[in-house]
């Protein structure tokens, strides 16, 4: 764990550039949720995930399940940074025959452990992976990233109840609490009230952080890995900004699932330090 | 005296028989006593996962286990598998993970629980999923034999079993059962009755009745609806020239639908379909339900006569 905070932040910055490029090239996709999750993914992959990019199916790898599978550009960007796929592969996002399918798919892309696309499914799948690790007597972990809007799916709570019942200490969830879903702000679509209390009531270990403050992100990941929190499943509630890092996308429901135009793209590259103003 | 047994008992026995394979795990949704996975649970609690009354979660827990090399057998009532259809579609079938789903208590034969518990569309909906093998065996022996073959399948499956007892047809004949291959139970030359599940024994009774009427009927147990044994159907068309399908399932989309789809793209023959006439059931005894739905032996025989007139 020698990677410094600054180095993780630089990885995240490069990923943000790729996210915007992918969505701009495809003129489709989901930039908002990719940008909100990316600091978390950068820290997770750069400092915690026990994986082998040259052996993506290694049996004892940690699993990462992106349940909010529409935020695939974020995952593809970090997989490219880690060497699972090439930066050239990122150009195949949403292109016929490409490894970078619209939603992350385990049958298409190395390093992807779950075929996502339908919300409310990843936590259950991650629970299955965690049970398999227990049966294998393996110390591998299952990390699952869910979205906040996704918690409106009832099946999330089936899984939450079951994972606690089975005391799956190797199941670690990160909630990307970016407060916006497809049509509008979550508060307008379906209020969720006290989210930490809900998870605590379901029997989970719970911690809240600022998902863009890298120091807090690292402390949050420490919490997920801490021995005392391996008595059962744990969730890190990361407060994030939808579209975080690109001024005009931030907290803007329009950029849940829309691509920037040329002018907006150029502005994003300036804001991310790729080109000078 | 013919031995009577329920297909779900064959499923439960097969799970126990498969326990020697350490990769086999069993998933339950609070109906293990009914689907008969309880025997496995008692013998191997460490490899049995209670998912509570949560079928959607169960299917995907199975998918996660399968992605790590396990061979999950998940069961609930046929009707409740439908609640997890999209999980089966997106989480299991699409990535082609070998999760084996068993829906017990299928069809109107389920009886007095009434229409909410009588799945009449499960075979149709699961048949539409790429990668998924769909089976509906007729007795406990063939159910056990088919289930025993699933670990080697390497892809997902759906199997419907039935709640109530029916005549056992395969005692001592396990070797004839193979996924994807229909079995000719009785040879005949005038008409072929292709049946599945609880209606296979009804089809045999219908063949007896037809014999009295001077008609030679061939009876086939088409325990696998997908992949369909097209080669056998082609042979039956050539041999008999008229077909009947019989199933305790909506007349839309099940065995009759599958056979019709095959016929229109291959050698044609008149086909009469016996099935639930696109309506829901109600509370009643199993035999009363077959009468109410007009899918019992006399109705199959009548359909055979209709098919003959169309030759």
- The rounded distance, in Å, linking the Cα atoms of B91 and A50 is 24
Give the pLDDT score at B147.
98
Distances in Å between the alpha carbon of A236 and those of A6, A159, A210, A251? 22, 16, 10, 21
Tens digit of pLDDT for each residue in B73-91?
999 999 999 999 999 999 9
The answer to whether A124 contacts B57, with C-beta atoms less than 8 Å apart, is yes
Q: If you average pLDDT over residues A89-100, what whole number do you get?
A: 97
- The rounded distance, in Å, linking the Cα atoms of A273 and A13 is 9
**Is pLDDT at A1 greater than 70 in this prediction?**
no
Which part of chain B has CATH 3.40.50.970?
Answer: 4-167
Which among B25, B69, B91 is the nearest to A125, CB-wise?
Answer: B91
Q: How far is B61 from chain A (nearest CA, A)?
A: 4
Which among B52, B62, B67 is the nearest to A161, CB-wise?
Answer: B52
Fold of B180-309: Rossmann fold (3.40.50)
Q: How far is A120 from chain B (nearest CA, A)?
A: 9
B96 touches chain A (CB under 8 A): yes
Q: If you average pLDDT over residues A159-185, what whole number do you get?
A: 97
pLDDT grade, residue B213 (50/70/90)? very high
Token pair, residue B81, equals 């598998």
Give the pLDDT score at A162.
98
Give the pLDDT score at A229.
94
Give the pLDDT score at A197.
98
In this structure, chain A runs to a length of: 277
Q: How far is A224 from chain B (nearest CA, A)?
A: 21
- The rounded distance, in Å, linking the Cα atoms of A39 and A239 is 11
Q: What are the chain A neighbours of B87 within 8 Å (beta carbons)?
A: 121, 124, 155
Tens digit of pLDDT for each residue in A205-225?
999 999 999 999 999 999 999
Distances in Å between the alpha carbon of A64 and those of A50, A127, A143, A237, B16? 10, 12, 5, 17, 33
Known catalytic residue at B288: no
B131 touches chain A (CB under 8 A): no
Distances in Å between the alpha carbon of B307 and those of A24, A153, A177, B202? 61, 49, 63, 17
Identify the DSSP state of B172.
Answer: T
- The rounded distance, in Å, linking the Cα atoms of B142 and A87 is 53
Q: What are the chain B neighbours of A59 within 8 Å (beta carbons)?
A: 68-69
Q: If you average pLDDT over residues A141-169, what whole number do you get?
A: 98
pLDDT grade, residue A26 (50/70/90)? very high
Q: What are the chain A neighbours of B69 within 8 Å (beta carbons)?
A: 59, 132
Give the pLDDT score at B72.
98
Average pLDDT, chain B: 97
Domains of chain A and CATH, by start = 5-271 (3.40.50.970)
Tens digit of pLDDT for each residue in B255-266?
999 999 999 999
B29 touches chain A (CB under 8 A): no
Give the pLDDT score at B1.
76
Fold of B4-167: Rossmann fold (3.40.50)
Which among B64, B90, B96 is the nearest to A128, CB-wise?
Answer: B64
Token pair, residue B248, equals 């305790």
The answer to whether B65 contacts A105, with C-beta atoms less than 8 Å apart, is no
Return the C-alpha torsion angle A265, A270, A273, A275, nearest 10.
90
Number of Cβ pairs < 8 A linking chain A and chain B: 102
Q: Which residue of B lies nearest to A138 if distances are taken between CA atoms?
A: B68
Half-sphere CA count of A261, side-chain side, radius 13 A: 2
Average pLDDT, chain A: 97
**Is pLDDT at B179 greater than 80 in this prediction?**
yes
B104 - beta bridge partners?
A: B77
Token pair, residue A22, equals 């992918």
Which part of chain B has CATH 3.40.50.920?
Answer: 180-309
The answer to whether B65 contacts A59, with C-beta atoms less than 8 Å apart, is no
Give the pLDDT score at A150.
97
Q: Which residue of B lies nearest to A159 if distances are taken between CA atoms?
A: B57
Vertex A130 angle, CA A126 and A135, to 5° = 145
Give the pLDDT score at A125.
98
pLDDT grade, residue B267 (50/70/90)? confident
């Amino acid at each position: 764990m020698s990677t410094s905070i600054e180095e993780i932040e630089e990885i995240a910055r490069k990923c943000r550039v790729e996210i915007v490029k992918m969505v701009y090239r495809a003129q489709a996709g989901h930039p908002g949720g990719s940008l909100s999750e990316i600091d978390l993914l950068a820290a997770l992959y750069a400092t915690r995930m026990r994986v082998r990019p040259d052996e993506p199916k290694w049996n004892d790898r940690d699993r990462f399940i992106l349940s909010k599978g529409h935020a695939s550009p974020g995952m593809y960007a970090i997989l490219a940074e880690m060497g699972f796929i090439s930066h050239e592969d990122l150009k195949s996002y949403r292109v016929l025959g490409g490894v970078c399918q619209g939603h992350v798919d385990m049958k298409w892309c190395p390093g992807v452990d779950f075929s996502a696309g339908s919300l409310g499914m990843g936590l259950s799948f991650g629970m299955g992976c965690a049970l398999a690790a227990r049966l294998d007597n393996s110390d591998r972990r299952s990390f699952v990233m869910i979205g906040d809007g996704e918690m409106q799916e009832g099946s999330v709570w089936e899984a939450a109840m079951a994972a606690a019942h089975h005391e799956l200490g190797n199941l670690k969830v990160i909630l990307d609490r970016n407060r916006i879903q497809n049509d509008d702000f979550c508060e307008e679509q379906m209020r969720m009230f006290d989210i930490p209390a809900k998870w605590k009531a379901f029997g989970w270990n719970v911690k809240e952080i600022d998902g863009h403050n890298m120091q807090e992100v690292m402390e949050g990941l420490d919490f997920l890995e801490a021995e005392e929190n391996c008595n059962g499943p744990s969730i890190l509630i990361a407060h994030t900004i939808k579209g975080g890092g690109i001024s005009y996308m931030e907290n803007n429901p329009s950029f849940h699932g829309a691509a920037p135009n040329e002018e907006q793209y150029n502005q994003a590259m300036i804001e991310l330090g790729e080109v000078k103003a | 005296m013919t031995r009577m047994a329920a297909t779900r008992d064959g499923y439960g026995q097969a799970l126990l028989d498969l326990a020697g394979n350490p990769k086999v795990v069993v998933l339950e949704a609070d109906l293990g006593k009914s689907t008969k996975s309880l025997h496995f649970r008692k013998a191997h609690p460490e490899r049995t996962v209670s998912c509570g009354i949560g079928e959607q979660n169960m299917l995907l827990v199975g998918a996660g286990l399968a992605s790590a090399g396990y061979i999950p057998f998940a069961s609930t009532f046929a009707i409740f598998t439908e609640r997890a259809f999209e999980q089966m579609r997106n989480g299991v079938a699409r990535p082609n993970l070998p999760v084996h789903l068993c829906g017990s208590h299928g069809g109107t034969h389920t009886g007095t629980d009434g229409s909410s518990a009588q799945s009449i569309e499960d075979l149709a909906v699961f048949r539409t999923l790429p990668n998924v093998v769909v089976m509906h065996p007729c007795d406990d022996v063939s159910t056990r034999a088919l289930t025993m073959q699933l670990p080697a399948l390497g892809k997902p499956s759906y199997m419907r079993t039935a709640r109530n007892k029916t005549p056992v047809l395969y005692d001592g004949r396990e070797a004839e059962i193979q996924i994807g291959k229909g079995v000719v139970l009785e040879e005949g030359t005038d008409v072929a009755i292709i049946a599945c599940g609880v209606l296979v024994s009804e089809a045999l009774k219908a063949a007896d009745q037809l014999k009295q009427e001077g008609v030679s009927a061939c009876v086939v147990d088409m325990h696998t609806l997908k992949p369909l044994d097209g080669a056998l159907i082609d042979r039956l068309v050539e041999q008999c020239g008229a077909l009947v399908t019989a199933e305790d399932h909506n007349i839309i989309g099940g065995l009759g639908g599958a056979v019709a789809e095959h016929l229109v793209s291959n050698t044609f023959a008149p086909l009469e379909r016996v099935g639930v006439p696109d309506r829901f059931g109600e509370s009643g005894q199993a035999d009363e339900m077959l009468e109410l739905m007009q899918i019992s032996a006399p109705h199959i025989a009548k359909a055979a006569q209709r098919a003959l007139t169309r030759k």
